[in-house]
Amino acid sequence: MPRAHSKRQFAKARQFMPGGVNSPVRAFGSVGGDPIFMARGRGAYLEDIDSNQYIDYVGSWGPMILGHANPHVVTPLKDAVEKSSSFGAPTVAEVDMAELVLSRMPSMQQIRLVNSGTEAVMAALRVARGFTKRNKILKFAGCYHGHSDALLVKAGSGALTHGAPDSLGVPAAFTQHTLIAPYNDLAATERLVRKHRKDLAAIIVEPIAGNMGVVLPRPGFLRGLKKLCRVNGALLIFDEVMTGFRVHSSGAQGLYGVKPDLTTLGKIIGGGLPVGAFGGPKKIMQCLSPVGGVYQAGTLSGNPLAMAAGLATLKKLGTKSFYVKLNQKTSRLALGLTEAARKAGIPVQIPHVCGMLSLFFSDQVVTGLGDVMKTRKNLYKAFFHEMLARGIYLPPSPFEAWFVSIVHGENEIAKTVRAAKDSFQNIKDQF
């Protein structure tokens, strides 16, 4: 596929932006080559500025669960922008969004809307510290919770992609209260909690890890975290920026039946527009200004465009049948990819859950960051470019989740599996 226009735009972009991008993973650093500049999307497809078409498994990193330019989202968004792109004052749509989210998330009694997942996590941690009057936070290696200073320690996502999980510019004092445990290792977590129990404000976790690739929680892991928090007076925070309303109508907490104390959300509740949120029981959320002493604010919080797109999206996700269909599509894709790899003699692991999956080149089950780092990342690089040449757009990093939308039909899944068969055959000599 010729990409001369993308190549020229990338050269131009590097003159004006660090690395030519506004988010590191877009630079194709871990797969090589030049990034592709997209022009438009429709349904399960993207089209670049060279008029090449691709079946999209990035989905703007999760929110395009209904596909690109879905008319159910576009129409109310057009109506909203004609009234104004921002008021900086309360709107009915914010109340409607809060009511809808709370009706789907039983762990929440109140919610605060913000502008990104990073902001949601940052504020939730501040609330946890304010509520408990404690300082320390426990996170898990390979889980990414945004780019706030205290959490860029053994982070996933772009930090792993670019080999710098501990960012420059973060003073050591900013991370002195951040504890790290291995994901899925309840015993190691318990030891850390026991050691720091008097000053531990919260445990924060991706209930389904998605930023070191998809890593599913072991049976009992999430319930074990809940018990540790309850016994030791800490709060449990589920970072559902990625999983919220994607894997279940009530997020991962609904899928696994574990109620966190605080939940952070993003992506889907804006229907593809910038948004974030966090919420929990009223007794905790009442710590927030203007009724409590924990300060948080944002001019664009509850932006009317994000509310219009988000409400339109969430209203289409309210049925059990939606998630049954999405899970079936995801499973068919995972099974097809697994069989294609088996025929080529290449061992792979493809953990998957409704709407999310990852492909690891490994013969070992992946349960945490240590397993992820042992996978054959060079094979993913080769596989990525083979698939791209066949019109399949995958995440440009082995450490990111793939996203399946409800509009990925039988034809798209079959075409993806056929492309994978050829791609696996072409790279098997590198194994």
Q: Which residues pair with 393 in a beta bridge?
A: 56
* Catalytic pick among 185, 239, 261, 371: 239
Q: Based on the number of CB atoms within 10 Å of its own CB, is 356 exposed (0-12), middle (13-18) or buried (19 or more)? A: buried
Distances in Å between the Cα of 390 and the Cα atoms of 8, 386, 405 are 22, 7, 20
Torsion, CA 166, CA 170, CA 175, CA 176, rounded to 10? 120
Q: Give the pair of three-digit tokens for residue 48.
A: 């670049």
Is residue 296 within 8 A of residue 124, CB to CB? The reply is no
* Catalytic pick among 267, 329, 377, 381: 267
Ramachandran quadrant class, 84 (left: phi over 0; alpha: psi -120 to 50; beta: rest): left
Long-range CB contacts (< 8 A, 24+ apart) of 169-176? 174/149, 174/150, 175/149, 175/150
144 a catalytic residue: yes
Rg (CA), the chain: 21
Three-state DSSP at 189 gives helix
CA angle (274 as vertex; 273, 277 as ends), nearest 5: 115
Give the integer Cα–Cα distance in Å for 126 and 132: 10
* Catalytic pick among 144, 183, 256, 323: 144
Is residue 185 within 8 A of residue 330, CB to CB? The reply is no
Within 8 A by CB and 6+ apart from 332, the residues are 413
Within 8 A by CB and 6+ apart from 428, the residues are 344, 345, 346
Closest-CA residue to 209 (of 221, 192, 201) = 221
183 a catalytic residue: no
- 392-393 β-sheet, strand order: 38-42, 45-48, 53-56, 392-393
Give the integer Cα–Cα distance in Å for 411 and 45: 12
Calculate the CA 390 to chain-centre distance: 26
Q: What is the DSSP string of 82-139?
A: TT-S--SS--HHHHHHHHHHHHH-TT-SEEEEES-HHHHHHHHHHHHHHHHT--EEEE
Give the integer Cα–Cα distance in Å for 2 and 46: 15
**Residues forming the active site:** 144, 239, 267
